[in-house]
Chains A and B, each alone.
Chain A
């Protein structure tokens, strides 16, 4: 790890100004991605702005058909939330299968979404449910937020403050974990909610999370697992690595999508 300045502001405004004042500042949330990156010397920020002291970034509220989660809420809190379990149980279940207990107690929803790891779970939920990412500067629709591999619409000094999910009448997430890392090799979130019927896939795409229009239209005419049985996803823009070829990932998308629908 290289040396850096550590800041621990108490408000989003102070965090934003700490970032502005830094040469090459980075936000630190749960550190589950940031700290290993620093330890492996893959990043050398001049300043780290630690968000853990900002009370306004934590907490879960469910009201008016919307689940709102503060950026600094960790995965374990989402998984354990009785409110989320009753309003949007698929989201609590997704959080409950991220990493291991240690990771779930440190890693945050804001960090996960900001990082946009192509194998992370939350991006699939954001896209399928039509979530809104609220930042220190604006509100961004999930549809516009995930722009590519580890890429998002966030500006350099922009801070995610919370994420709101419209409650869907039907929602389920099924993940095929990478056997080694347990991130998603393929994860499929299926939802029927205010944003319509959506199928979002994480883990498989070369550009990160994506939707599968053929599945969405198949489900629109017949919301059943059988309707997806013959929908094959092209392997063209899918990842291939030692754990799974693009063909295998394409196959798993259909299997996971069927299983998600069957769970609903």
Chain B
């Protein structure tokens, strides 16, 4: 592979080619799409967390100005919104899977649940008319918290008979109990992983359209995975065959997981379009996004870590309660289980691990994957309990980590919770981070802060995650109802420019740059001759989309395989024209050369020959130069690293300021260091957001109290210092690029580093625990209580 640190190849910090259109307002988002004759939908949502719908009178709304139709759950008799992952409880029974109608039938189950849709000539008319719909509710007691849901008689879904969706386990409980009984010390911890509202910059939107002439439906939607939406909505909800259903996810303004799922509104506008004979647009406003986008996290954990007298970890036992919300969102069940509990070894050699996960229905917005998806939860648990064990045993917090690291020469490393890590060097990232964070100078900085009446603390997180989610066979055996390969097509045009069709989707990640760099690197073409196309199921072959930091490790690898097929065929064409053997053709810098001669053909000439095949090996090859690859990896990838956070707390007000944040991440080979740095910055911002600022609060009636930016603390630039971010790589061993993925590491690694730093700062004042988010009031109250 050429050294691409200059130019546009692998390793070059190429400026993002997509940014010109984004920064000049020329992006094409779903709300920018306006179809001829388009109408507008307004969704009437439940104001109650839990209620029976005794009647709906929409006659006034139907008669209102501009109104084309009003539909309720009675009218919309379609399939249930499906769940894409099935978990089995430890007794072998399948998880309870309640029906999830796009429009509520008979009962509403959270504030925000869809009750009716009004379709009118304008959005205002639809909204005006919705006010005249009379819904009679019989309000029921709501199971708002998980403990309410487990103890109350109030059932979120009467027909399934329980609020316990599943009761799952992983690991060897007997081995753990045995180790616990012999331990020199057991550290116990209780944690809450706070519920978050994703808040992508672009709220969700959908435009549904039906062409009566062809019988084809089109859905434009804010999705991270248009093919998955086509499959789920077409096959399970609306019974539209795939060849008659086109799903387009154009430019999408951020997803963070919240735009993976198949949502009711997508099905509603697609289903209703032929009924009214016009395209229908629905766009969420921000308040609506707060109560209708799937939320993230929301776990309660109890954990116990057994140590021997030398501080070696013997066993880890975890009990988790995971909030599913009112319905099962598309991938909700896999988040606390296969994306979380399987990570409980972290970077450590803990030989025995057992986890029990109870998933619980509550009368709240459904909860699903959010940047990191399960891995932030396990990372937070491990890195908090390790710090606490260090405090309790008197072993230095860095030393206790070192004693327990999986050594760099122990890979591949089989953990006791299913995963086999392929590569890593945790000592290397720790020692680099230690230098970059100037740990040596910390004592002096702490003393200086103390002289100003401030409390300084430093916290570590030496984390690991599993991403690039795949392989299909493995996820299938774990309950996935889908495959997790990825696809790419490389279409070389007659004059040698290239269009790549990728099954992944870019909604901020910069694929149009990174993927073009891969092609530029491999084919020796300038960036401007390469176009990356994604998001339209009528253009792109079936693909699984973007989440779980999988695009490069799975989609990029598929792309490389397709490119290699192109090179292979092109060599044969060049060999024919140059009258040499294909084995003697060398491909370098965009030229095919007969080894040891000056006879060569440029890539463009080969492309032209493929499409104007006058002199062509017709016996051996078909004309054209267009190749496809589907790639299903052998394993997950395992990024990891070390985050060090330094905070300063004002004990008078309880305000925590992040002074310095250092991240040294092993993400495998770096294709574009600038994009990688940007991904880590964004992830760390979200991680600090979770640790210090953000949480979704419900009151006892199930109303979302933090339902707008007036109360939900979105992180802002002035909440952060400049981050010190770098990468230090081992390569992934099972893909040819050696890449691991970087989309989520920032959000996964950072929260425990922040909270460990806060506890470190408060420790001398007697504070022993802190929960997320560590708001000023919480910190101040903890200091008061410790006095």
B710 touches A242 (CB 8 A): no
Question: A85–B709 Cα gap in the complex (Å)?
Answer: 32
In the bound assembly, the distance between CA atoms of A180 and B692 in angstroms comes to: 12
**Do A243 and B709 touch across chains, with their CB atoms under 8 A apart?**
no
A-binding segment of B260-268, B297-305, B746-754, B775-783: B775-783
Known A-B contacts A252-B653, A255-B652, A255-B653; A245 and B777 likewise in contact (beta carbons under 8 Å)? yes
Contacts of B582 in A (CB 8 A): none
Q: How many residues of A contact B (CB 8 A)?
A: 16
Known: A248-B777, A255-B652, A255-B653. A242 touches B705 (CB 8 A): yes
Chain A's closest residue to B287 (CB) is A40
A179 close to chain B: CB less than 8 A: yes
User: Given A243-B777, A248-B780, A248-B781, A176–B653 Cβ distance below 8 Å?
Assistant: yes
B211 within 8 Å of A by Cβ? no
| A203 → B minimal CB distance (Å) | 14
Give the residue name and chain of the B residue nearest to A248 (CB). B777
Instruction: Say yes or no: B713 contacts A180, CB within 8 Å.
Output: yes
A220 CB, min distance to chain B CBs, angstroms: 24
Check A180–B775 contact: CB distance below 8 A: no
Given known pairs A243-B775, A255-B653, the reply for A181 and B781 (CB within 8 Å) is no
Other-chain residue from B131, B706, B781 in contact with A242 (beta carbon distance below 8 A): B706
Q: Does A1 contact B (CB under 8 A)?
A: yes
Q: Which of B546-593 contact A (CB under 8 A)?
A: none
A106 within 8 A of B: no
Contacts of A255 in B (CB 8 A): 652-653
Q: Say whether A54 faces chain B, with CB atoms less than 8 Å apart.
A: no
Q: What number of A-B contacts does a CB cutoff of 8 Å give?
A: 37
Interface size on B, residues (CB 8 A): 23
* Minimum distance in angstroms from A87 CB to a CB of chain B: 29
Interface residues of A in 211-264 (CB under 8 A from B): 242-245, 248, 251-252, 255
Identify A179's interface contact among B287, B652, B693, B780, CB under 8 A.
Answer: B693
Task: Tell me, in angstroms, the Cα distance from A181 to B712 when the chains sit together.
Answer: 8
A176 to B775 Cα, complex, angstroms: 13
Residues of B contacting A179 in the complex (Cβ-Cβ under 8 angstroms): 693, 713, 775-776
From residue A112, how far is it (CB to closest CB) to chain B in Å?
Answer: 16
CB atoms of A181 and B780 under 8 A apart: no
Per-residue A-contact encoding for B704-727, CB less than 8 Å = 1, 0 else:
011001111110000000000000
Q: Does B697 contact A (CB under 8 A)?
A: yes
Instruction: Report the Cα distance A217→B636, complex, angstroms.
Output: 69
> Which of B128, B711, B777 makes the CB contact (< 8 A) with A180?
B711
Q: Can you show 29 pairs from A to B with CB atoms below 8 A apart?
A: A1-B124, A2-B128, A40-B287, A41-B127, A41-B131, A176-B653, A179-B693, A179-B713, A179-B775, A179-B776, A180-B706, A180-B709, A180-B710, A180-B711, A180-B712, A180-B714, A181-B710, A181-B711, A242-B705, A243-B777, A244-B777, A245-B777, A248-B654, A248-B780, A248-B781, A251-B780, A252-B653, A255-B652, A255-B653
New A-B pairs, 14, CB < 8 Å, besides A40-B287, A180-B711: A41-B127, A41-B131, A176-B653, A179-B693, A179-B713, A180-B712, A181-B711, A242-B697, A242-B706, A242-B711, A243-B777, A244-B777, A248-B781, A255-B653
- 5 tightest A-B contacts by CB? A180-B713, A181-B710, A179-B713, A248-B777, A255-B652
